[in-house]
Amino acid sequence: MNFKPIIIVPGEPNSIFFEILFKTLNYKKFKSPIIFIGSKNLLIKNMKFFKFNYKIEPIKKKNISKLKYIHLSKNVIHLININYSDLNNKTITIKSRKYITECFDMALQLLKDGVSKKFINGAISKKHFLSKKFNGITEYLANKTNTKKYCMLIFNKKLSVCPITTHLPIKLVNKKLNKKLIIEKIELINKFYLNKFKVKPRIAITGLNPHCESRHFFDEDNKILKPAIKHLQDSKIIVSGPHPADTIFLKNNRKNFNVIVGMYHDQVLTPLKTLFEYDAINITLGLPFLRVSPDHGPNEKMIGKSLSNPLSLIRAIEFLDN
């Protein structure tokens, strides 16, 4: 059986991604071929540094447009080279923006051409790569693919979480919340579990305010969340709330749900990472392809130490490896 390739963009050149990629490929053999889009020189430099031995098969420019019809072998890194000249730089700077953009553009073109529907990207520096227009790669890819409804799902088989707002300062969260946004994201989560796992997920929604109570003149939990939850329940989606965020992750509470949806990033990502650490992946729902990334950042302080945990990338490739 021929498996569609997994397209990988390493992201920030100065990050732990090369280390965890090599550890992942040493850990197990995967069924899907890998198309790596990035600098050949950077790849080879890191292979030498980490003493990693793996076959590289360059893809010629004339064959890029034909990749959909070319059989790709497994256990090889099929490389599309993107030039990167700043090889001796050891810090994250804005200089890598052009290189990362070219890597993403190439990957998006292959995905659009139907070479694959499976995409993994390594972490980027939001400060240096993204303009103020985008809160994160989730929004960047949604914009690039003209996707209007999308959702960040931090996925673990036992429990997943979704923040309604992503990478947003706390003072702006309540300004972005609305009934329509909550409904759209819950509907995407429900559709994902139905299509991927053939189950209707049990979804809990946390309140915005402590204990779902507000002394302010406008109570978001009553005015926004409850009407959204009522609408979703009327649509036969298994959803409940708003639940107090400080108790929903207790063992006897979280066991009742597949997904816990919070109002802002750290409200649900902090407890999930405490529970599962690196055993989780970031999935963007709503895109015309399956985009997954390891659930951590570039981690500049750990570069070159060979101490980084590859589990999240292992789980990302396992998720797409079919």
Q: Provide the CATH number for the domain around residue 19.
A: 3.40.718.10
The verdict on 27 and 94 lying in the same domain is yes
196 and 129 part of one domain: no
| 34 plus 165 within the same structural domain | no
DSSP 5: P
Query: pTM for the full model?
Result: 0.93
Verify that 159 and 271 share a domain, yes or no: yes
> How many domains does the structure of the chain reveal?
2
Statement to judge: residues 137 and 75 lie in one domain: yes
- Residue-number span of the structural domain to which 210 is assigned: 154-278
Separation CA 140–CA 208 (nearest Å): 26
Taking residue 70's Cβ as centre, other Cβ atoms within 10 Å add up to 13
Contact 76, 6 (CB under 8 A): no
CB 202 within 8 A of CB 256: yes
Mark whether 143 and 1 lie in a shared domain: yes
Q: How far apart are CA 136 and CA 132, in angstroms?
A: 10
Q: Do 12 and 132 have their domain in common?
A: yes
Domain match, 113 and 188 both: no
Nearest in space to 161 (alpha carbons), one of 264, 308, 79, 85? 264
Nearest CA to 174 out of 211, 140, 219, 227 is that of: 219
104 and 174 together in one domain: no
Nearest-angstrom CA–CA distance, 156 and 154: 7
Do 35 and 56 fall within a single domain? yes
DSSP for residue 255: T
List per-residue pLDDT tens for the chain, 322 residues long. 668 999 999 999 888 999 999 999 999 899 999 999 999 999 999 999 999 999 999 999 999 988 998 889 998 999 999 999 877 777 777 888 899 999 999 999 999 999 999 999 998 887 778 767 788 899 999 999 999 999 999 999 999 999 999 988 899 999 999 999 999 999 999 999 999 999 999 999 999 988 877 666 678 999 999 999 999 999 999 999 999 999 999 999 999 999 999 999 999 999 999 999 999 999 999 999 999 999 777 787 787 888 899 999 999 999 999 8
Same-domain status, 180 and 121: no
Are 65 and 36 in a shared domain?
A: yes
- Residues forming beta bridges with residue 153, ordered by sequence position: 283
